[in-house]
Amino acid sequence: MKSLASVTDNDIETIKMALNDSISDMTSELKNELSPEQKNALINYKEKYSRVFDKLKTNGSMYALMETDLDIVASGLNDAIELIEDNLNNNIDVILEIDWQGARQVKINMPKAISIFVLPPSKEALLERLKNRAQDDELTINNRMSDAENQMRHFDEFDYLIINNNFNEALSDLESIIIPSNKASERFKLSLEEQSNKHKNLLKKLI
């Protein structure tokens, strides 16, 4: 873990985006039917995450966070780890949507984990998709693009590579990898080595 003194502006933006995504997920989850206990707990988490996000947005520095704020984020991560371990112990597969750094840590701790990197068909297509979401202002979109470009530089650390040019085709590719079947040949075609050779020109443009 980085010390506060070594946290960069890019780190701050990444943390803010992660918090913002979590808050959005909680907002969506609150629209579902929940027990009073679940709803209260979720509202409590949302308020805490929102407080941390607002502090970073206003101050732009990790020094704006109190120790209790850092504990909130750490607590959320610990809860996630516990949930993952419980599911795996019960033979339930777990899908994690994480960045390359998180994927690297998972591979270190769980070498048998399967890692999949999803790439856009072009930078222009990715920018258009971010704009069409109509959820973020221009600064946030630019930050997301910058983060995406950084993420894409690490595609070669993953086991499989999917090009999300067409959603249904990308979904079918994903199913070929994660759903047990006799499609070993399809799975092989999506391996990092095969896809890197197939999409050399695209990778040069993206990276």
pLDDT for the residue numbered 1: 44
Q: Residue 64 phi/psi, 5° resolution?
A: -75, -15
Would you write out the chain's pLDDT as a tens digit for each of its 207 residues?
Answer: 444 444 555 556 667 777 777 788 888 888 888 888 888 888 888 888 888 778 777 776 656 666 566 665 555 555 666 777 888 888 888 888 878 877 887 888 788 899 999 999 999 999 999 898 877 788 888 888 988 898 899 999 999 999 999 999 999 999 989 886 656 788 899 999 999 999 999 999 998
Map out the domains of the chain with their CATH numbers. 1-93 (no CATH), 95-207 (3.40.50.300)
In angstroms, the CA 11 to CA 140 distance is 14
Q: Residue 160 phi/psi, 5° resolution?
A: -130, 155
pLDDT for the residue numbered 182: 58
Single pTM value for the model? 0.65
